[in-house]
Every structure is written in C-alpha cells, then in structure tokens.
Amino acid sequence: MTLHLRHTFLARCMSSSTSSKVPLLWQTKIDSDTSNSTLQLLSWGRGSSGQLGGGIEEIRAYPTPVASFHLPSNYRLSPTSGLLREPSADSSAFEKLSLSEIGISCGFFHSCLLINGNIWMWGKGDGGRLGFGHENPAFSPTLNPNLDSVRSTALGGLHSVALTSLGDVYTWGYGGFGALGHSIYTRELLPRMVNKAWSGKICQIATSGAHTAAVSEFGDLYTWGRDEGDGRLGLGPGRGPNEGGGLSIPSKVKELSVPVAAVSCGGFFTTALTKEGQLWNWGANSNYELGRGNKVGGWKPQAVPSLQDTRIIQIACGGYHSLALTDEGKVLSWGHGGHGQLGHSSIENQKVPLLIEALAEENVVYVACEGSTSAAITDKGKLYMWGNSRDCQLGVPGLLEVQHLPVEVKFPVEYDGLGPHHVLSVAIGASHAMCLVLRSPSQTTEER
C-alpha cells in the first residue's frame, strides 16, 4: 500500500512528547493503519561549545536524551561516509518508495541531525560552520533554512559538507587550505554548491579536519583541501591550483585503478573501498595508519596487502588510526594506539590490520571513530566504545583516560513506556559523541 505521508516538524521550539519527557523534534503523520517508530537522539561528553544540544555548556558523563522523533516503521538511516550501500539504497529508490530517512554526524565541535532532507545544526559557530549566515554558536538543535533535500552530511573541523538527493555537494564554513572546494580560501557563512568537476551525480561524501572527498556514481573519486606534506588528496605533482598547501578545486584521483564506492578521510590520509570490498589508501603513514606494515606513505593509492582476501563493508578513519568492518561482522584496527583507540590488549601502534578480539564474539554492523576514540554497534543494538576518555566521550562514567578495550555503553533506565535502547547509529567528535536509538518495542530498522 502506498503511504500518504504528511510531514510536520518543530524546528526551533521543541514541544513535549506525549510518551516521554524528551522533547519531540519531528513527527511524521501517517495513515491510521500504518505503524510508527519512536527514535531518540542522545549525546555525551564535553559540551563547552554547545555541541551536546542540551541548551547549555555542560559535561555529560553518560548518554542523555536530546530529542525524540516519530517516524514510519519503514524509516531507514541516511548514507554514511565509508559505508558500502546496497543498490536499493540509492536516491532514486529513496524517492520512489517515499521512505523516511534520518542520520547524524559530528564535527570536532559541532553536530548535525538530518531528517527527510532537513538538517539541524548546533555547536560552535566560528568560521560559519553551522551555515546560518553568522558565526554565533547554537546550543540546541536549530533548523537550517538555507538547505533542503539533503541526503547525507559530513562535518569537519571548521567546515561542513552536505550531499543532496540530486547528487549535488554543498559546503560552508572556514575555507582554509581549500577545504570548501570553491576556489577560495576564506569562509562561507551559508551553504554554497561546489561547482561540478565530475560527470553524473555524487553518491557519497567524506571529510576530516581540512580535506574533503566525494565519490561519483561512476566510481570516480574527487578530493580537495589540505595536501601539504603527506599527499592525502592522492593527486600527486602537477595537481592544479595550489595555495598554502591546499587545493581549492575538486580533482579526480586518477591513480586509482579501480572504481570506488565508499570513502573515509583520516587526519592526514584517505581510504577508499571498491564495491567488492577491497580497501585502498594513501597519505601519511608515520603511525602505520595505512596498515602496510611499514611507515612508507605517499600520495599514490595502494591496496592494503593483508586485506586482499577480506571483504570490507565499512571503513572509518580517525586522526591516526582506522577501523574496518568485514562482511562477517568482525572489526579490524591499525595505526596509532596510544590512547587505546585500537581496542587491543596494549596501547602499542599496530602495523597491519588486526582483529579486535574483545569483539570477536559479537556481530558488529557499524563502526565509527574520530581523533583517538572508537565505537562499534552490534546487530543486537549494543554500543561499545574505547580509546580516549578524557572528556567523558565514551559515555561510561569512571573510566581511566586511556580505555584500551571496548566497553559497553549503558543507557539510563527510563520509565516512559517505551522499549529498551536499540542503538542504530553513532557519531564521534573531538570531545563528544551522539547516537540514535530505537525505543519502539520489538522493532528494528529496515536497513543501515
């Protein structure tokens, strides 16, 4: 049966949910014979810039609700950087099926929520990274009226990136090192479309502190932003207009000899996945972040030798380390381990991808990392985190600053008539983290 959806939302002023004390931010009204699902957004860590969304400067030692949402039971999560998607998850299928879509992302000190093409931004506003036309911070989720039809977002250190349902890329914020791709190195206070340097549509975006990447529907990869000293853009010499170690115009990574389907940006390196799940990377390697067994880096993309016979379905890159999720639900990690972010029994650097034994008995369906913090979600909706706990960003009170083994994040018991917390997605910033949870009893999302 075709659903006749009527969308209503509360943007700046959030009403009280009828089923809990958590403010209701979005409600999709559906036919009486169609079931709905209740989701919640929770945040934790250091929120001195408002990135927790609670309305004040605060530190949250454990996950605390920010907002709730009522969506049709056939909702799905928006596309995520580094994650291979099934063919049915493309934008044309999304529009044809009229599915509701929701997603989250974290920058270093700002946050974003995406629901049905609309984005809410909050946190630090310096450089214009919130896209409101000014540089003021926002301490609560605030609807950005300057952009719609958004399908995914990726937040960097001082800038933000959005991908629309038409396959267009928009960027805003501080443009140092050319991170915005607008042929400028200054700030943009409002979302601005990146001039197309590619054929067809863009199907995935990724960014980090100062460089950005985009994958086209034809499997081509384009990069722009900071490239100084390590070759993280993968473009090599003669790459085009350059200023201050950056490239302000998107350019094709021509040395990639295979089509790619997903990309993730680390602090000073970049990783791409083919649709068959083969992993390629390039850039800085002084901490073994390329997983090649040595410290030889460089701008030329290469396949990771030890993963030639392993199908990877998601890659997540932190500042100096990486996580890879296999098609069997296992998590591999490598690179810098000084804060415990690799999840192994020691904090030594790891030269090649190594299985995280503490998660070996779990079926992991999603991974995330940023800086020196890592996370994994299991098929049962459990959330595990490990790494740097200095700012309470692991969501477990009482941990030492270095947490080298995964620890399960527990959620406060709420007597609100809803089901248990089934974690759907997690995003990590420099000192905070957020997750989406399903609270409707005995229901799970259709797909990731």
pLDDT of residue 98: 54
Pick the CATH number of 35-84+99-439 from 3.40.50.12240, 3.30.9.30, 2.130.10.30, 1.10.10.10: 2.130.10.30
Structure tokens at 332: 């591999």
DSSP state of 33: T
Structure tokens at 168: 């267009």
Looking at the chain, the whole-number percentage of residues with pLDDT higher than 70 is 89
pLDDT of residue 431: 97
**Could you report the per-residue pLDDT of 9-38, keeping only the tens digit for each?**
333 333 333 344 889 999 987 666 668 899
* Angle (CA) 208 365 322, round 5°: 35
Mean pLDDT score, 63-70: 96
The Cα–Cα gap between 293 and 295 comes to 7
Q: What is the pTM (predicted TM-score) of this model?
A: 0.92
pLDDT of residue 85: 84
Could you tell me the CA-to-CA distances from 134 to 113, 124, 231, 246, 409 in Å, in that order? 19, 11, 33, 25, 36
Q: Is the model's pLDDT at 224 over the cut of 70?
A: yes
**Could you report the per-residue pLDDT of 227-248, keeping only the tens digit for each?**
988 999 999 987 765 677 789 9
**Could you report the per-residue pLDDT of 260-315, keeping only the tens digit for each?**
999 999 999 999 999 999 999 999 999 999 999 999 999 999 999 999 999 999 99
388 neighbors 401 (Cβ within 8 angstroms) = yes
